[in-house]
Amino acid sequence: MRRGWPHSLTKEYRLNKHLYLMILPAFIGFITFHYVPLYGIVMAFKQYDLILGFQDSPWVGFKHFASFFNDPYSVRIIRNTLLLGFYSLLFGTLPPIILALMLNEFTNQRWKRIFQSISYLPHFIAIVVIVGMMVQLLGPDGIVNTMLVSLGLEQIYFFNQAEYFRTLYVTSGVWQGVGWGSILYLAALTGIDPELYEASYMDGANRFQRIWHISIPGIMPTIVILLILNASDVINVGFEKVYLMANPAIYETGDVIQTFVYRRGIVDRNFGFATAVGLLNSVTSFMILYAANRIARMTKQNSLW
């Protein structure tokens, strides 16, 4: 069948009118919930006035952007966002790959499946529960501090000291995501031609050599693709977890762009300013994704588009 627009408009209507009816709800929904907010970005260039409303609020050009860069906190939240994202990527990339390689070496399929199921579980648990769990374990009455005290050491207030925030955020993220992250690598490993392993066995390769020379090259394209996809997360640090974990005492490390936007926009009702900051965030995020894709292309690996 030909691609594109295969027939006249009348024929298209006669043939496919039911299809248009089917897709109508999604069409309306995507326009409403995605494209209308995209248009709402013009608020970044307006001084939002509750009485005048969205349309009639006066234009202010780049005033909000300027005041963001003059804000004493702007450097701090950009630094925090990037560092948190960077550490998550740095420490979060390798563990799923290693877990997948280890599971792939299992000869007992039953245990492999059981361990896989266990390792996926935290992915399905709400962030608020994970954070609550950390508070319970690491709080003043938690098991960790109880042990520290019984060993004659001082209590540590993990959630009130800025220097622990990043470590806790990244570690708990790896804990929660390592199993789920390994799924795609495991699938890629299953796709490797078994004859390669047979041949290496004939040549007397040991298990490590097989992993190094067959398994890892076999999943390299997957690793690159996922790195590209995750690269833009460097700036899209999850709002929920930071919001739940941080408190004003540790904003020095625990305040990121999204939580800043939330406070200035939703809490303080400074809509124009918060929209501007959010816009900077999404533009940067897209640029990182684009750049990562370009780099991947230049190295002649797979790319997204």
Partner 1 sequence: MKTTGFGNKVFDTVNFTLVLLLCLMIVLPFWYMFVLSVSDPFKVGMKEVALIPQGVNFKSYMAVLQENQIVNAYWNSIRYTVVGTFMVIVVACLTAYPLALQRFGSRKAITILFTITMFFSGGMIPTFMLIRGLGMLDTIWAVTLPAVFGFWNIIILRTNFQSLPRELFESAYMDGANDWRILFQIVIPLSGPILATLTLFASVGFWNAFFAPLLYLTSPEMHPLTIILRRVLVANEVLSSEAINSANSLVMDPIADAGRTTSIRMATVFVTIGPIVLIYPFVQRYFVKGILVGSVKG
Backbone angles phi, psi at 46, to 5 degrees: -125, 160
User: Taking contact as CB under 8 A, which single stretch among the options 83-91, 134-142, 162-170, 294-302 is the one that binds partner 1?
Assistant: 134-142
Q: Which of 143, 227, 134 is nearest to 173 (CA)?
A: 134
As measured in angstroms, the least distance from the Cβ of 102 to partner 1 is 5
The angle, 0 to 180 degrees and rounded to 10, between the axes of the packed helices 63-70 and 74-104 is 80
Q: Does 189 bind partner 1 (CB under 8 A)?
A: no
Q: Does 129 bind partner 1 (CB under 8 A)?
A: yes
Site for partner 1, residues 206 to 265, rule: CB under 8 A: 206-207, 239-240, 243-244, 258, 261-262, 265
Q: Does 34 bind partner 1 (CB under 8 A)?
A: yes
Which listed residue (14, 20, 287, 291) binds partner 1 by CB under 8 A? 20
User: Taking contact as CB under 8 A, which single stretch among the options 14-22, 68-76, 81-89, 291-299 is the one that binds partner 1?
Assistant: 14-22
For the chain, give the secondary structure using H, E and C: CCCCCCCCHHHHHHHHHHHHHHHHHHHHHHHHHHHHHHHHHHHHHECCCCCCHHHHCCECCCHHHHHHHHCCCHHHHHHHHHHHHHHHHHHHHHHHHHHHHHHHCCCCHHHHHHHHHHHHHHHHCCHHHHHHHHHHHHCCCCHHHHHHHHCCCCCCCHHHCHHHHHHHHHHHHHHHHHHHHHHHHHHHHHCCCHHHHHHHHHCCCCHHHHHHHHHHHHHHHHHHHHHHHHHHHHCCCCHHHHHHHCCHHHHHHHCCHHHHHHHHHHHCCCHHHHHHHHHHHHHHHHHHHHHHHHHHHHCCCCCCC
Which listed residue (60, 89, 133, 162) binds partner 1 by CB under 8 A? 133
Residue whose CB is less far from partner 1, 84 or 277: 277
Cβ atoms of 241 and 12 closer than 8 Å: no
Which listed residue (79, 146, 220, 268) binds partner 1 by CB under 8 A? 146
Site for partner 1, residues 192 to 211, rule: CB under 8 A: 194, 197-198, 201, 206-207
Q: Does 168 bind partner 1 (CB under 8 A)?
A: no
Q: Does 164 bind partner 1 (CB under 8 A)?
A: no
Cβ atoms of 81 and 288 closer than 8 Å: no
Which listed residue (69, 111, 203, 221) binds partner 1 by CB under 8 A? 111
Site for partner 1, residues 36 to 55, rule: CB under 8 A: 36-41, 43, 54
Which listed residue (66, 90, 266, 291) binds partner 1 by CB under 8 A? 266
As measured in angstroms, the least distance from the Cβ of 69 to partner 1 is 18
User: Taking contact as CB under 8 A, which single stretch among the options 63-71, 77-85, 124-132, 295-303 is the one that binds partner 1?
Assistant: 124-132
Which listed residue (6, 62, 73, 299) binds partner 1 by CB under 8 A? 6
- Contact code string over 55-94 relative to partner 1, x by CB under 8 A: ----------------------------------------
Q: What CA–CA distance (Å, rounded) separates 180 from 99?
A: 10
Residue whose CB is less far from partner 1, 121 or 220: 121
As measured in angstroms, the least distance from the Cβ of 85 to partner 1 is 17
